[in-house]
Structure 1
Amino acid sequence: MKINQFLDATYLKTAEQAGITEEENLQNVISLVEEAILYEYKLIMIRANYIKTARRLLNDAKSNVVIGTVIDFPAGNSSLENKISEAKEAINLTADELDFVVDYDAFKNGKISSIKKEIEECTALCLKHNKKAKFIIEVAALSSEEIIVISQLIKEVVIEKFGLENAKNVFVKSSTGFFKTDDNSANGATLETIKLILENAKPLKVKAAGGVKNYEMATKMIDLGVDRIGTSSSKQIINKTQNVNQGY
């Protein structure tokens, strides 16, 4: 098993969130790209404003690493029009994969028709441009029953509207890694939540993200059946070392 090809190596902090200058933050992104080229990760997940720099570095290195970015991140509660506009901009910047934060608050409040429309329109846009779509459901904000229902909902919309043949181009993703739980409980992927997604989203792809920080956990996720792992600890996973730092 080439674990590197399961890894979406991630750096999504803004300079303000990281407490550093914009120049320093850009250097962090460049370092991630260089690491991804060296270790041949599947993808780098970065903010859209860094895509041009990353694309240039990848092209110069003739690397097969692809670029992903996040849409309506991390809250997911902007309008559908804003989501689509942001997604179009990311596509214009040459992003290969788009990770949309589903409006999970709207879902929890029973606005199912708006969630269905969101999934349909965002998926349609990605497929039209030969991009992969990932839908982040933020498992830490949901009950087990809600995880089951929203995973089934996404699957049903994709299969009904775009056919079984497009299941390989759409993911259900666990977490942003930025959600704050009230009781400091796990705010990302756990074995239990990933099992629920897998059982209810397949044949869509599944991405475990948030809290996967070491080789042991990564391999457990892969053994369960996930297709990707979103992590800021890719190097630690590749080197089979422990990472005790907190965060995505």
Structure 2
Amino acid sequence: MRTVADVAKMIDHSLLRPELTDDDVRAGCDLAARYDVASVCVKPCDVQSAAERLTGSGVAIGTVVGFPHGSSSSRIKAAEAHAAVNDGAGELDMVLNIGRLRAGEDEAVLADIRAVVESAPGIVVKVIFENAYLTDDEKIRACRLSEQAGATYVKTSTGFASGGATPADIRLMRAHVSDRVKVKAAGGVRTLDVLLKLNEAGATRFGATATAAILDELAARLA
């Protein structure tokens, strides 16, 4: 079984719910630092304060682009990404243009992803597909386009749609990107057993709000 430290460094502690206050975000950042997770994923308006609070902690600052529907123009997504990096973000989770993917407009989807990647050189970019709305063929095309655009990760879901990460989707996505591209699971990752099952399927990063419960459960099992 993996160590608590190993699993912690697979978790992006999610602080994206619209009702979260400044106090909630500060508490979430403190929890992320205490458990030494991979990153916090905060709303764009919270990037600067999170970066200040977590300086020197070893926890990366992530935020979202075109969230949650992916429907902003590519120009706006690129500007949003650039602003987030200037505020201190080192990781960006962008939602691709779901409608254009479903319509078969692959060149537009490619350009949309590439606009974000090129606006944030050297930054980890994770492309969110929102698999609840997609066929397997559309997921496969999204994998190919994300890799072609230079993304670092492909990601299952925002966590705000009707469905989230499944082992079948993780296996599909893992099979259709090269080893250079990693897979992130998000949506419904609320227990240790779910995380471990998705990890076995090929995911190496997880968006979660139940971070403390997951890691405390692993510590109890190892004890």
Q: Which residue of 2 aligns with 1:236?
A: 213
After superposition, the C-alpha distances for 1:98-133 in whole angstroms (9 at most, x for unaligned) are 11100011110121111111122222222x2x2111
Instruction: State whether structure 2 residue 184 is matched by structure 1 residue 202.
Output: no
Task: Please show how residues 174-185 of structure 1 align to structure 2 within 5 Å.
Answer: 174-179=156-161, 181=162
Paired AA for residue 82 in structure 2: K
The offset of 1:65, in angstroms, is 0.3
Whole-angstrom CA distance in 2 between matches of 1:140 and 1:50: 28
| Cα distance in 2, alignment partners of residues 191 and 114 from structure 1 | 29
Q: CA deviation at 1:156?
A: 3.2
Asked whether 1:227 is paired with 2:192, we answer no
Deviations 1:130-175 (A, max 9, x none): 21111001000101221122112222343xxxxxxxxxx6110110
Report what 1:173 is aligned to.
155
1:120 aligns with 2:114: yes
For residues 214 and 27 of structure 1, the distance between their equivalents in structure 2, rounded to whole angstroms, comes to: 25
Q: Does the 8 Å contact 2:170/2:202 carry over to 1?
A: no
Q: Which residue of 2 aligns with 1:145?
A: 137
Q: Does residue 156 in structure 1 map to residue 133 in structure 2?
A: no
Q: Which SS does the other structure have where 2:9 is aligned?
A: helix
What is the rounded CA distance, in whole Å, between the counterparts of 2:116 and 2:136 in structure 1?
25
What is the CA distance between 1:238 and its match in structure 2? Answer: 0.4
Q: 1:159-218, CA deviations, whole angstroms, 9 ceiling, x for partnerless residues? A: xxxxxxxxxx61101100112x3xxxxx11011111111111232111011111100111
RMSD: 1.4
In structure 1, the partner of 2:9 is 5
Contact 1:123 1:170 in 2 (8 A): no
8 Å CA contact retained: 2:75, 2:115: no
Among 37, 40, 64, the residue aligned to 1:70:
64
Equivalents in 2 of 1:172, 1:229: separation in Å? 11
TM normalised by structure 1 equals: 0.82
1:190 and 2:166 correspond: yes
Of the three residues 58, 83, 88, the one matched with 1:89 is 83
What are the equivalent positions in structure 2 for 1:37-76 lying under 5 Å apart? 37-59=33-55, 62-76=56-70
Mapped contact 2:11–2:37 kept (Cα < 8 A): yes
Q: Is the 8 A contact 2:13 2:41 kept in 1?
A: yes
Q: How many corresponding residue pairs?
A: 213
TM-score (norm 2): 0.91
Deviation at 1:240, TM superposition (A): 1.8
Structure 2: distance between partners of 1:154 and 1:56: 31
Task: Give the secondary structure class of the aligned counterpart of 1:134.
Answer: strand
C-alpha separation in 1, matches of 2:168 and 2:92:
25
Match of 1:76, SS state, is coil
CA distance in 2, matches of 1:224, 1:192: 8
Shift of 1:43: 0.3
Tell me by how many angstroms 1:84 deviates: 0.7
- Cα deviation for residue 224 of structure 1 reads 2.1
Q: Which amino acid aligns with 2:109?
A: I
Matches of 1:201 and 1:138 in 2, distance apart? 17
Residue 31, structure 1, aligned to residue 35, structure 2: no
Distance 2:23 2:43 in 1: 13
